[in-house]
Chain A
Amino acid sequence: DIVMTQSPLSLPVTPGEPASISCRSSQSLLRSNGYNYLDWYLQKPGQSPQVLIFLGSNRASGVPDRFSGSGSGSDFTLKISRVEAEDVGIYFCMQVQQAPRTFGQGTKVEIK
């Protein structure tokens, strides 16, 4: 299985400031078609996960443009340009390159 490693695992943030989460995969997620097979999900407290980013950098419908995904191969980043209070929760990356799909451990984002 592809192992997904996120860092940091805990991220205290200040509203209005930027935040960044790293996700590394044990194998490349870049396919010959030029796409990176990686998603980002956010699980807000007490809720089910919701998709933020698919194919490494595509924002899902309805996701605010303060969220962006970047990276290629085995090294990816989720950035929040200006954190808002509603962004707290656990962020997961997930690879879709190879079955079975596997998730990172999660990064818990909290307001300082």
Chain B
Amino acid sequence: QVQLQESGPGLVKPSETLSLTCTVSGGSISGDYWTWVRQPPGMGLEWIAYINYNGDTNYNPSIKSRGTISVDTSNNQFSLRLTSVTAADTATYYCARLLEWRLPRGGHYHYMDVWGRGTTVTVSS
């Protein structure tokens, strides 16, 4: 059974770069889609970005080109890098797998079927 585990710095200073890693165990990172979602304290969920097995990426415009999502197949990990962080980036960050569901009449759909436990990041000087 696939499991995900986020790792990160916990505390980042404003204007610096946040780097998060999600380690995939119990399965291969190849052949699937992977995503990051965050949740500011006491608030709702915000989708950040995803990457697929071809290396294609998609980002939420809300992060204004500050984000980079990447996959490291040799270590079965994927990562999120967020530059120029501010207090607004303070959140619990979740990584998740986007499971592919083949539609009967062609095409496919992806939904988040496995989530990590989340890692809390605080942006503060």
Give A contacts to B, CB under 8 Å: 33-35, 37, 39, 41, 47-51, 54-55, 58, 60-61, 92, 94, 96, 99-106
Contact = CB atoms under 8 A, between A and B. Distances in A.
A-B complex: 4 closest residue pairs judged by Cβ atoms: A54-B111, A100-B60, A101-B47, A48-B115
Secondary structure class of chain A's binding surface, majority of residues = loop
A89 to B, nearest CB: 13
B56 to A, nearest CB: 12
Interface in B20-69: 37, 44-47, 58-62
A54 B101 contact: yes
A39 B112 contact: yes
Given A35-B103, A94-B45, A103-B47, A49 B113 contact: no
Contacts of A101: 47
Contacts of A54: 101, 109, 111
Contact of A51 (B46, B103, B113): B113
* Chain B interface residue bracket vs A: 20 to 34
Contact of B111 (A60, A102, A104): A60
Contacts of B113: 51, 60-61
Give the residue among B45, B47, B105, B106 with the most A Cβ atoms within 10 A. B45
Given A50-B115, A58-B101, A96-B111, 6 more contacts: A41-B112, A49-B94, A55-B111, A92-B45, A100-B60, A103-B46
Contacts of A49: 37, 45, 94, 112, 115
A7 to B, nearest CB: 14
Contacts of A50: 115
Give the residue among B60, B103, B111 with the most A Cβ atoms within 10 A. B111
Nearest to A47: B117
B8 interface: no
A98 to B, nearest CB: 11
A54 B118 CA distance: 22
Given A39-B112, A49-B115, A60-B111, A55 B44 contact: no
A27 B106 CA distance: 23
B5 to A, nearest CB: 11
B91 to A, nearest CB: 13
